[in-house]
Amino acid sequence: MAGGGPAPGERVIEGIAAAPGLALGPAWVYRPPDLTVPPPAGPVDPQAETARWEAARRQVRERLDRLAARAREQAGEDEAAIFAAHQLLVDDPELDGQVRQAIAGGSTAEAAVARATEDFARMLEQLDDEYLRGRAADIRDVGRQLLAALLGASLDLTPDEPSVIVAHDLAPSDTARWPREKVLGLVTEAGGATSHVAILARGAGVPAVAGAAGAMAAVRPGQPVVVDGTAGRVVLDPSPQRRQAVEQALAEQARRARTLAALRDLPAVTPDGRRVELAVNIGRPEDIAAAEPFGPEGVGLFRTEFLFLDRSEPPGEEEQWQAYVAAVRALGGRRLVLRTLDVGADKRLPFINWPEEMNPALGWRGARLGLERPDLLQAQLRAALRAAAEGPVSVMFPMVTTLEEVRRLRQAVQEAAASLEREGIAHGPVEVGIMIEVPAAALAARTLAGAVDFFSIGTNDLTQYTLAVDRTSRQVAGLYDPLHPAVLRLILEVGRAAEEAGIWAGVCGELGGEPLAAPFLLGAGMTELSMHARALPEVKQVIRAVRYADARLLAEELVTLPDGDAVRRRLRAFLAGVGVEPAH
């Protein structure tokens, strides 16, 4: 395919594998518009400039709404959340204050925005925290959009035909605004595998290579380009032989996609009769319609935070009920697993008085917050119970560690139901479960299992806490491995505890959508896997090919291996033995 040494006439540019897959097409070289701030044409009217600033913020908010909707449709809720974070930056009171102060001092709105956003970005770049340093790029993206609104410049250049987009760097707002059918692949000189652009590309299924030094100088508009996002390689002017190989690989991808599509309406049942429910993770009710082409059997994670973000006060019970019941109705009898408010750490709401914490990832978040803010928890539980009058709803609580927390949370559900009963408001029963994200909860799973109806394993945080790795930190991100045997041992412990207690257990973290991990999760006793919609067909293919009895033996073997690489090798060999090869 795109591998091997260059043939005569070819040029190969090595980069970073940012999003897997192959692409072949003409290059479209993207150069952003010039947003140089002009000097003032005359005396500055602070009142008029302030009005222009406010109008620009409104315009950018509306643009971010459109970008979020497109990202949600093309990639998913995690990707759309990038633009929710950008909206918070547009409304940031510190940024607003700096711009207004500069305008009052005689600056134009453009000059004030340029200075404030750059100062803000540089300040973040000086911090020790890797996550906050990464937000500097978000600040500059938002500043660029604000400047374009003030200058009347268009940021909406789009290829005329399906193309490989080549750029020095791309902001999330660039990547999300292009129609998916116009983007064959992405090549950038800057960035890496953990950038927001890489996240958006992976979610949308667009091959991408980052860190391709010299690409802008080397590529001509319209030049044939091969993008190998799996190997991190770009080939300019591919030879006829390479083009043929890539075209054959793309045809094989298309054939594979047709094979997977044929599984849409078939159940995820192993050859020896074990049934696994394959569900989808969503962040808004409308995500269900976008997931339907992939055949979800329910929603295994409804992130409810979207109702609480970008506002100065919490949503009321009625607004929450409308969102939850819309999801229930869209599912038409399939189960909705609703996660209660999960904020804290990097998601902080302005209407909550947050404590100063040295390590907020281990602090006041998830169910810990809910138990201390019964006003928020009761409104959410009442809305969920009311939605359950129209279809199956399960409620799960995040960041739970102890049996006492579980008891208090179940009591909160009972109090919400009792209050609705007293008021004569229709409501239905709900399953009550907890997310297993904390190693202590996994180790105590046999104790906790008697107090809940189900477990749902959040493998992202479970991995982070088990391995003591902040996966947003470039220095230690290489240690983050959800297939580490220590993590797998905890998952196996949870699965076996659920089986003994007669409750169901599932996975809603990223590992649930990883086809390579599916045999282990099956063998560990998981009866539900929830994931990004695009992952459903391939995971279903694996489940339908693997005997449950064999998967149980495999799971017991994998936890004894020395490291994650050994686990991957064994899983690949196991899948090869049943005739399945994951795409990436």
Q: How far is CA 513 from the centre of its chain?
A: 12
- Residue 473 CB coordination number (10 Å): 17
The full 3-state SS of 376-398, as one line of letters, equals: HHHHHHHHHHHHHHHCCEEEEEC
First to last CA, the chain: 14
- As a whole number of angstroms, the distance between CA 137 and CA 171 comes to 8
Residue 471 marked as a ligand binder: yes
> How far, rounded to the nearest angstrom, does the alpha carbon of residue 154 sit from its chain's CA centroid?
28
Gyration radius of the chain over CA positions = 25
Active site positions, annotated:
196, 508
460 is in an annotated binding site: yes
User: Reduced to 3 states, what is the DSSP secondary structure of residue 138?
Assistant: helix
To the question of whether residue 303 is assigned a binding role by annotation, the answer is: yes
568 among the known binding-site residues?
no
Ligand-binding annotation for 72, yes or no, is: no
Structural tokens at position 268: 């995820």
HSE of 251 in the Cβ direction (CA atoms, 13 Å)?
Answer: 6
With a CB cutoff of 8 Å and minimum separation 6, the contacts of 353 are none
Full 3-state SS string of 436-449: ECCHHHHHCHHHHH
CA angle at residue 252 from 251 to 253, to 5 degrees?
Answer: 90
Give me the helix-helix angle, 46-74 and 93-104, nearest 10°: 150
241 CB burial (10 A radius; 0-12, 13-18, 19+): exposed
Identify which of 438, 437, 421 has the alpha carbon closest to the alpha carbon of residue 429. 421
Give the residue from 170, 173, 243 showing the smallest Cα distance to 208. 170
- CA distance linking residue 172 with residue 518, whole number of Å: 31
Residue 292 annotated as part of some ligand binding site: no
Instruction: Find the helix packing angle between 77-90 and 46-74, rounded to 10°.
Output: 170
Q: Which residues of 2-36 are buried (b: 16+ CB within 10 A; e: fewer)?
A: beeeeeeeeebbebbbbbbbbbbbbbbbbebeebe
Q: Which two tokens stand for residue 542?
A: 């694996």
- Can you say which residues are annotated as belonging to the binding site for phosphoenolpyruvate? 303, 339, 460-461, 471
- Can you say which residues are annotated as belonging to the binding site? 303, 339, 437, 460-461, 471
- Can you say which residues are annotated as belonging to the binding site for Mg(2+)? 437, 461
